[in-house]
Structure 1
């Protein structure tokens, strides 16, 4: 299992306009960018010591709202760009990454031998896309319109390979209980909205979304040239709502133990009759008999619904999915309709991104490591990688020492925890081995074909893992991604190049800022391997029981206290966080910040940090943490995240500091202040 991201709902965003690293001559950088001049002069890119003090709201007591104290002025002064559902530090850096990638692709356009140049060129040629209309996808749509129940399994297998979503999905990954072997896994699907709750939970917001989605289904059928679209859209929606009733909820679906269900294809067919499982699984290219089924009862229910549903309704559902899934490479009428629901109704974003931005995202989405090689050559010097490697080692050492001091963990379990920590692999910046795209055909005048072939290439590459050695060199993110992740089966933590810059990391910033920023990010990813799910995996990456019953009891008790703390947060009127769903990420934040603080203090070598601009070292550490969470949300986006995002919103992530004793001393937080917790109520896990 991969705990995929530090920020799982990262969307493209507006440009930071800062070039801090790269091979551009210093004089050119300095002329174009004051931040580059600051870096060249050995000064922090942000503020006097790496923190934007002007963004603070000093009228707020830290103990009442630490997020507002650190970030309130920034929040009031910062508008969300029209093509964004939210805007903050992640999105600023994502836009910088997007602009840098555009420069790379613009240069590549003039090279006819460059695949990334051809992919980018094809996307930019909107005139050609409009001229072709739906002709490129018609061959596939014709297959969908003519499929019968006997041929459905084969068509859905082809849909999988083509990148069209349907009733369920599958992928090849490590076998959680035998991580040296790959296995094919199936997971539930079939919903056009992001989660079953959007169909089943009452409330005005969901009523509005359901009406908007129903209209979207109708509009897509009209664009596909279908008659009687309103009635047919209602039939699709009714089928999806039935599917939602058999889906597992997000908490069960996030439980590594519950979703590990190994069975043969014959056993799946017996458990979920009514669908040709062998035909589908063989059709996607899997020749092995043993598979994993994430949500068995959901497959039982879905198979029954598929067998009972009129084939006409199934065809219509697949028509809509096909247009939605390829909307970004089809004419504007389709792209805008898809955006109207998924971008505006669901997330609150008023405008689509400019075409060049979408062209960059398309190219990096399909040829990411081909772009990444140029990106790291320009923007990720070896010095940054070396400095990051040192930080990682310091934070890992801090967790090791903390494990040794734990009062609740049994000695025999500590030995195993230490062994797991020692077995970590850290990946920084970019892969040691780049993905080979030589078998992927990309043409400068065939945008839809490029998308289709890219989907097929990715599918075939994934399936080809079966029977082969574990690809320990592979990455799940590109170097241009502003994020990080933990992979339980690989026992690894991964930090792409694009996150290793201010405000997360600046070689010229005060160490406290770096430890509160990237240090806590490192700690977050490390501690994922010891969160509510990661702790189920041993030092080999195997899903196994390696804790004593007493350890489990103590760990679960601390987890329940953190669940209760986050359950109490009302993010929007009547909309509370789900502390169970967000538990893993909240443990990551709490433990990450805790061990980063230990690492920072150890880095001081027993000395007191200097006072800078009236701030102590501890104050700067916590301000560095709060600064990376600067983010404004549109209300629709924030509401959607409460349902679908395992990460807490930025304000509550900054508030995790209320569980750390040094935060109270640093900011003189007193009883009676909003965030104050009595010492016995502060959650301490790692």
Structure 2
């Protein structure tokens, strides 16, 4: 499936339930006296008290209070660009995945064609650097020869199709996905692409950091062309050619913020109309080459961008266009090429991320196996790592959060009855996927052998693209997943109106059946609420209960939502983690709204759960913290993050998620529940006045 939507509380015990104190908690600072207790506070599961920096007042900086000691004790490893709890869970998961892969690679008697054989042979070929270096360019030579053999525009278009199938992505991205305005059928879709730098803005910014990235980009291209056999002067000229063509494409590309408008990205044309508008691109021939000749319509994401693609194909010389294609072919497979290519690619990525060295090869190749054979690999993982009990507990939590969301919709004070009815209809229709697919992908038609990693990689890409194309004209596959089972992430898919939580996410510290409710609701519950409320953020709210891109809001309600969301955007745009660098409140709007709404909705679900368990009686505290405080602590401790300046700048420029520190404090500053839980006085940094507070749900 198309992965566009990929979408990723603290102080001493205040008092018994019902406390309404607005005085700061007694042990929030190092100088404060401890609260007297009759016995040591019971120990809890899920929070490490040593991570808390008690020299910081939680009402002043909850990010530092909740994890300041951890941040100081966990520097970023040399191979990483950032470091946080997700990385630690990733390491633990990768250790298990490595054992699965090494066992599969060592099993030379696996049945031919079985998942075990394909996973084992793919990983074995990926780890055999001696064979990769010895083979040199030989495995890629047939594809390089195809590019070199192009003699005319028809041959060029055929090669563009070929490279689309091989995952090189020259000029644009194309494929089959659900039609967002008729979600009972698939549609052919084409969107802007064809760039090497992270997004269009990198081609035009002139600040020192961007110039450093562009210098690394040029050096990478130049070295790659030299490795392909070009003389230094020719390699520099070829690199300049690629940059010139990409700059043309970048100028016509939409910005990351503009790409967040789903209505603007839906432009359905008949194939005949597209053929007339883009004759040099020749959509009819492209579709035929992609096994999609039966399509009558195309959804063009960014029509003006494709005007420029058409112009590029009309005005650039054939040799220059072939140079551009050759670069994108090589760039797309650098990790599977001999060592000098992989090292050149890493030097470029260093300029973007600040990483000091590459991750160990087994980690990189484990990720590559997951990407290419994710569900074959995933079946082997799930057999060892995910229990039915964990799935049942997760489903129970989702049901409770869903019920809380329904209550928030029903009691909403600014939404009209007709819009509420549509919102509840959408919520009730929400599909939930937990752990792993009910129906696994069938890899039987994908040939995998031990001889060549590059050959395996290209075969897997071509198989996946053809599998996608084969869906066209058939029924919607609602069993399909956009993430693999070991993935430590989750997503909401608007056209399918579904939330998806892979097994990799459903383990400590994000999910622990041994922990109290407050911990699980603050951790994985916060993620569940986040993904669920994506259906009602500034993008998700534009899709109806069936996933169709349709306006179901009254004009007054839509205007009220936009006004309230703008407050969130303004708050985040004021956050500045580095000198002269501010969070982009518009780019991060959807994720920030999901954090805001999710935390509020899940807090309500936790309160109902606690009421069911304890009624109006005392609620147990662990480690000296109330359930409400533990809820906010749990949310915050999973967003601890040390990040290199280079990576932070790139995140702010390209990522729709705000940096971890602002995902921690941004929502909490607007929640009276947080203020009450920690007794924060009016005027403290972690509270906003009623007039400045953002309230959505």
TM-score for the superposition, normalised by structure 2: 0.91
Q: Quote the Cα distance in structure 2 between the aligned partners of 1:57 and 1:312.
A: 61
Tell me which residue corresponds to 2:537: 531
- Look up the match of 2:71: 75
Q: Distance in 1 between matches of 2:671 and 2:144?
A: 57
TM-score, normalisation: structure 1: 0.92
**2:366 is matched with which residue?**
360
Matched, 1:197 2:201: yes
Where structure 2 has 5 or more consecutive residues not aligned to the other structure, the ranges are 9-41, 112-116
**Contact 2:43 / 2:622 at 8 angstroms: preserved in 1?**
no
Moved more, 374-383 or 89-98: 89-98
Give the structure 1 partner of residue 668 of structure 2: 657
- The alignment status of 1:94 with 2:81, answered yes or no, reads no
CA deviations 1:371-397 (Å, max 9, x no partner) are 111211111111100100100000000
Deviations 1:548-581 (A, max 9, x none): 1111011101111111011111122111111111
Candidates 557, 566, 570, aligned match of 1:564: 570
Tell whether the 8 Å contact from 1:161 to 1:459 is kept in structure 2 after alignment.
yes
Q: Which residue of 2 aligns with 1:599?
A: 605
Alignment of 1:273-312 (within 5 A): 273-287=279-293, 288-312=295-319
- Paired residues for 1:409-448 under 5 Å: 409-448=415-454
Q: Alpha-carbon deviation of 1:614?
A: 1.8
Distance in 2 (alpha carbons) for counterparts of 1:371 and 1:142: 33
Q: Which of 122, 140, 144 is the equivalent residue of 2:143?
A: 140
Q: What corresponds to 2:323 in structure 1?
A: 316
Displacement of 1:69 after TM fit? 0.8
**Distance in 2 between residues matched to 1:99 and 1:551, nearest whole Å:** 50
**Segment of structure 1 superposing worse, 357-366 or 164-173:** 357-366
How big is the shift at 1:604?
0.9
Match of 2:669, SS state, is helix
Structure 1's 2 and 659: CA in aligned 2 closer, same or farther, altered over 3 A? farther
> Which residue, 240, 245, 250 being the options, matches 2:246?
240
CA contact (8 A) 1:153 1:277 kept: no
- For residue 344 of structure 2, the aligned residue among 334, 337, 349 is 337
RMSD: 1.5
Q: How far apart, CA to CA, are the structure 1 residues paired with 2:400 and 2:321? A: 55
**2:89–2:509 CA contact under 8 A, matched in 1:** no
Q: Secondary structure at 1:163's aligned position in 2? A: coil
In structure 1, what is the Cα distance between the partners aligned to 2:3 and 2:594? 14
Q: Hey, what does 1:84 align to over in structure 2?
A: 80
Partner of residue 681, structure 1: 692
- How many Å separate the matches in 1 of 2:143 and 2:358? 27
What does the per-residue CA deviation read over 1:140-175, in whole Å, with 9 as the maximum and x for residues that have no partner?
112222324412111100101112121101121100
Once residues 627 and 562 of structure 1 are traced to their aligned partners in structure 2, the CA distance between those partners, rounded to angstroms, is 23
Cα distance in 2 between the residues matched to 1:573 and 1:272 = 44
1:404 is aligned to 410
In structure 1, what is the Cα distance between the partners aligned to 2:670 and 2:469?
45
Give the structure 2 partner of residue 39 of structure 1: none
Residue of structure 1 equivalent to 2:50: 54
Q: Does 1:481 align with 2:512?
A: no
Distance 1:47 1:88 in 2: 24
Q: Secondary structure at the residue paired with 2:691?
A: helix
CA shift for structure 1 position 3: 6.5
1:2: Cα distance to partner?
6.2
From 168, 172, 183, the counterpart of 1:168: 172
- How far did 1:77 drift? 1.0
CA deviations over 1:258-288 (Å, ceiling 9, x no partner): 1010001222233334332222222122121
Assess if the C-alpha contact under 8 Å between 2:171 and 2:195 holds in 1.
Answer: yes
Counterparts of 2:125 and 2:536 in 1: how far apart (Å)?
Answer: 45
Q: 1:633 pairs with 643, 649, 658, which one?
A: 643
* CA displacement at 1:358 relative to structure 2: 2.1
Q: How far apart are 1:451 and its partner, in Å?
A: 0.7
- The corresponding residue for 1:34 is none
Task: Find the residue that maps to 1:72 and give its secondary structure.
Answer: helix
1:47 deviation in Å?
Answer: 7.3
Match of 1:178, SS?
coil
Whether the 8 Å contact between 2:176 and 2:471 is mirrored in structure 1 is yes
CA contact (8 A) 2:265 2:301 kept: yes
Tell me, yes or no, if the aligned pair for 1:2 and 1:489 is still in contact at 8 Å: no
Count of aligned positions? 647
* Higher alpha-carbon deviation: 317-326 or 375-384: 317-326
* Among candidates 612, 615, 619, match of residue 625 of structure 2: 615
Counterparts of 1:120 and 1:191 in 2: how far apart (Å)?
29
Quick one: structure 1 residues 91 and 124, their matched pair in 2 at CA, closer, same or farther if it must change by over 3 Å? Answer: same
Residues 281-323 of structure 1 deviation map (CA, whole Å, 9 limit, x = unaligned): 2212212120100011111122212321222222222222111
Q: Distance in 2 between matches of 1:57 and 1:310?
A: 62
**What is aligned with 2:390?**
384
- Partners of 1:117 and 1:259 in 2: how far apart? 41
Tell me whether 1:156 sits opposite 2:160 in the alignment. Answer: yes
Shift, 1:90, TM fit: 1.4
Q: 1:20 maps to what in 2?
A: none
Which residue is 2:32 aligned to?
Answer: none
How far does residue 83 in structure 1 lie from its aligned partner after superposition?
A: 1.6
2:118 corresponds to 1:115: yes
Aligned to 1:540: 546
Match of 2:220 in 1: 216
Asked whether the 8 Å contact 1:6–1:521 carries over to 2, the reply is no
Taking the aligned partners of 1:282 and 1:483, their CA distance within structure 2 comes to 36
- The equivalent of 2:230 in structure 1 is 226
Q: SS state of the match for residue 173, structure 1?
A: strand
Structure 1: which 4+ aligned runs deviate by more than 4 Å?
none
> Is the 1:488–1:534 Cα contact (8 Å) retained in structure 2?
yes
- Offset from partner CA, 1:9-45 (integer Å, 9 cap, x none): xxxxxxxxxxxxxxxxxxxxxxxxxxxxxxxxxxxxx
Change over 3 Å in CA distance of 1:358–1:613 after alignment to 2: closer
Contact kept, 8 Å, 2:499 with 2:532, in 1: the verdict is yes
| d(CA) in 2 for partners of 1:662, 1:190 | 47
Residues 348 and 239 of structure 1: is their aligned pair in 2 closer, same or farther, counting only changes over 3 Å? same
Output the CA distance in 2 between the equivalents of 1:111 and 1:591.
51
SS in 1 for 2:191: strand
CA contact (8 A) 2:3 2:482 kept: no
Q: What secondary structure sits across from 2:281 in the alignment?
A: coil
For structure 1, which runs of at least 5 residues remain unmatched after alignment? 8-45
Q: Which has the higher mean CA deviation after the structures are superposed, 270-279 or 151-160?
A: 270-279
Question: For residues 626 and 140 of structure 2, what CA distance do their matches in structure 1 show?
Answer: 61
Residue by residue over 1:389-443, the C-alpha shift from the partner in whole angstroms, topping out at 9 and shown as x without a partner, is: 1000000000000100001111111111111111111100011111100000000
* Contact 2:79–2:356 (8 Å) recurs in 1: yes
CA distance in 2 between partners of 1:314 and 1:623 (Å): 54
Counterparts in 2 of 1:76 and 1:570: CA distance versus 1, 3 Å = same
Could you tell me whether the CA contact under 8 Å between 1:221 and 1:316 is conserved in 2? no
- The answer to whether the Cα contact below 8 Å between 1:184 and 1:291 also exists between their aligned partners in 2 is yes
**Secondary structure of the equivalent of 1:122?**
helix
